Structure 1
């Protein structure tokens, strides 16, 4: 099947051709036809499956067909958890809709709201937003959602992880009950299922791959290495000459900054991206990475979704994630759109329980790579440092990586 068989308007087909897209991905093939009919969509799909186009193209198609109605009113809202993902979706909509005249806007925290407000006042058809900034501007009456026709909730499970689920529920009360809703999530925990039952009406259910699966195009391996030798092993890999562009995941913001210093000291040009960086600094690092000016980007899980980098060759799990689903999201940054990719994970003795949980989730053993110069020496964990994975899954505060201005504000408690 080709895009021209999906009954899309000619302006969209022209843009898709210019982008080099001919055939829809499985989720696009399944989601676009019912979405064009106005049906609610429940999509369960891992990152990298092409779901942005699965909702963006039907939205644009509908607005093209009813272009003269409700001028200067927001007709479609796409709610997403992070700035990076919001920008990625906005850029995709701009690309697909370049021949339509449809006006789009993206709003998120961490930057001045003034330019965003000015653009909203000029009139917007499609709004892409993060929850915090949307609530802020709605409370200032700069955002009016009363004319909304289409609502998209993207990365719903990430919203839950980052503590935004109550903000999402509040935003849903601001939009018309009569609307088309498209809901996408990589996993379906109980709270997300409850939300689905309340906001979707007779949805078309689409699941293109099991939520625990990793793409077959990704070659996965794990290296057992002591914690204090991880940076040395990474430098060994990066200097091998076999690596193009690399996204390296650390557990903490401090760890990302510390690792970048070690890499620069070793003569490797690298940048860090995480929640403590300003929006301008994060965008500059991303631009340098996408352009090839730097080959190594060190990131926290803030970047596990929402960074779309073409032909990313390697993902390194410098620190293994304590939530196994995060591993799937991380390595999904490579091996996208049918391309091949390589994932290399570093595992020290304390992280072995994490590795076990990951292998259980993905249903296979990860190949061990022991052909390196820093084999694990520490083979036991002191009793006080042992990990209880059953409790530890929720021990880390997932909101620690939420952009500050998008975190839920808590009222001051009176003494």
Structure 2
């Protein structure tokens, strides 16, 4: 392990790190930064919330500070691609903290914002451009940006870019960049297609991995409630009523479902907002800012936000609907227990979601502890993979569920808004 000030970074960058409270690197930073500073292509595998932005951002900024001259009009020195608008904004915000007071200019281009405004500021050139692939393609087709002088490429959350179908956009963008260039690819998982992507765009990459794919952060306490689907709204309100001051992120499967759920919570007196694909960028930005500031304390989201929210204060993640892709469960719960804090992830599992839970447990090689309700037979008779310490212990008033379904009494009684509420004690992971 080393301290940041032992890396030989530029004085301006060391000052920025000190000013923002960074003292020593995280494991992924510890491994990736020296390799990147030496100019190697880097393939980094790490779960969300482990500090990947600094892992590629620090060496990138350091090398740009050593490169003389301002970018020419419309040109870019370094390109960072990310799959969602929220993640683009998060990356840019982190980099701007480090480049404050330097000549390095960080710009963003995402959909949902004025393309004419983006054309205008790109006309002056930028050192680091953080972009979503779709909007960048639009700007390239309008000849508003010239990537031929970009000598650095970063693909962040590359596995999600593949999931969202951005591989075709990447095939258009990558050939437009300058050569030779340094390429860094960071991902939370390593599916087969990711190996093909690495082979296509990285040259003799150094691979760094700090946790196995599918592993959640150690400080996340997980639990699952088994219940019938109609009992979910009541159970969610019960959970939210136990700690009304905490920041809670609730995940729904669809845009319509997220909006309906949010409106129902607001009608019941909860301070909630939502973000999903039907919201404008301005609406999404305002909701995230209000959540970050604590103006609202319940944010209902679809997976568009699973890797785009970096708010250390998120205490709880509730999977109201289980994701259809097991990896997304890991990304969702990675929104809590950030920056060394503890967090709690709570899943609500209806009978038709039992197979989704089984896939999640197989990926994570654990049995998620049961908080209430009765686990279905497929999960208790060998359905869970790689159990830790034997069968999951049951929490709460589960009771015996009837065959083929879950205990309908597992929903519990919700405290009414305004009623005295108790704070739920922290529990340690089983």
| Residue of structure 1 in register with 2:313 after alignment | 311
Q: Distance in 2 between matches of 1:74 and 1:376?
A: 62
1:338-386 deviation per Cα after TM superposition (whole angstroms, max 9, x unaligned): 21100000001111111111111111111100255797967527xxxxx
Question: Hey, which bits of structure 1, 4+ residues long, moved more than 6 A?
Answer: 373-376
CA contact (8 A) 2:371 2:398 kept: no
| Residue of structure 2 in register with 1:385 after alignment | none
CA contact (8 A) 2:48 2:331 kept: yes
| Residue of structure 2 in register with 1:55 after alignment | 56
| Residue of structure 1 aligned with 2:111, choices 109, 112, 118 | 109
| Residue of structure 2 in register with 1:358 after alignment | 360
CA contact (8 A) 2:71 2:125 kept: no
Q: Distance in 2 between matches of 1:78 and 1:363?
A: 33
Structure 1 length-normalised TM: 0.89
Q: Distance in 1 between matches of 2:179 and 2:17?
A: 32
Structure 2 length-normalised TM: 0.86
| Residue of structure 1 in register with 2:9 after alignment | 8
Q: Distance in 2 between matches of 1:274 and 1:363?
A: 30
CA contact (8 A) 2:252 2:300 kept: yes
Distance 1:119 1:223, change over 3 A: same
SS in 2 for 1:206: strand
SS in 1 for 2:123: helix
What displacement does 1:241 show? Answer: 3.0
CA contact (8 A) 1:63 1:102 kept: yes
Aligned residues: 381
Q: Distance in 1 between matches of 2:349 and 2:160?
A: 25
CA contact (8 A) 1:289 1:296 kept: yes
| Residue of structure 2 in register with 1:413 after alignment | none
Q: Distance in 2 between matches of 1:366 and 1:13?
A: 42
What displacement does 1:119 show? Answer: 1.0
What displacement does 1:99 show? Answer: 2.3
Q: Which structure is higher in RCO with an 8 Å CA cutoff and minimum separation 6? A: 1
Distance 1:126 1:12, change over 3 A: same
What displacement does 1:152 show? Answer: 0.6
1:7-46 equivalences under 5 Å are 7-46=8-47
Q: Which moved more, 1:68-77 or 1:112-121?
A: 68-77
Distance 1:57 1:375, change over 3 A: farther
Does residue 211 of the first structure (1) align with residue 213 of the second (2)? yes
Taking only aligned residues, the RMSD between alpha carbons, in angstroms, comes to 1.6
| Residue of structure 2 in register with 1:83 after alignment | 85
Q: Distance in 2 between matches of 1:375 and 1:313?
A: 28
Q: Distance in 2 between matches of 1:27 and 1:147?
A: 29
CA contact (8 A) 1:226 1:378 kept: no
Q: Which runs of 5+ in 1 are unaligned?
A: 382-415
Q: Distance in 2 between matches of 1:274 and 1:375?
A: 36
CA contact (8 A) 1:90 1:105 kept: yes
What displacement does 1:161 show? Answer: 0.6
| Residue of structure 2 aligned with 1:260, choices 250, 262, 268 | 262
What displacement does 1:177 show? Answer: 3.3
1:245-256 equivalences under 5 Å are 245-256=247-258
| Residue of structure 1 aligned with 2:297, choices 295, 298, 313 | 295
1:15-39 deviation per Cα after TM superposition (whole angstroms, max 9, x unaligned): 1112111111111111111111111
| Residue of structure 1 aligned with 2:197, choices 195, 214, 221 | 195
What displacement does 1:234 show? Answer: 0.8
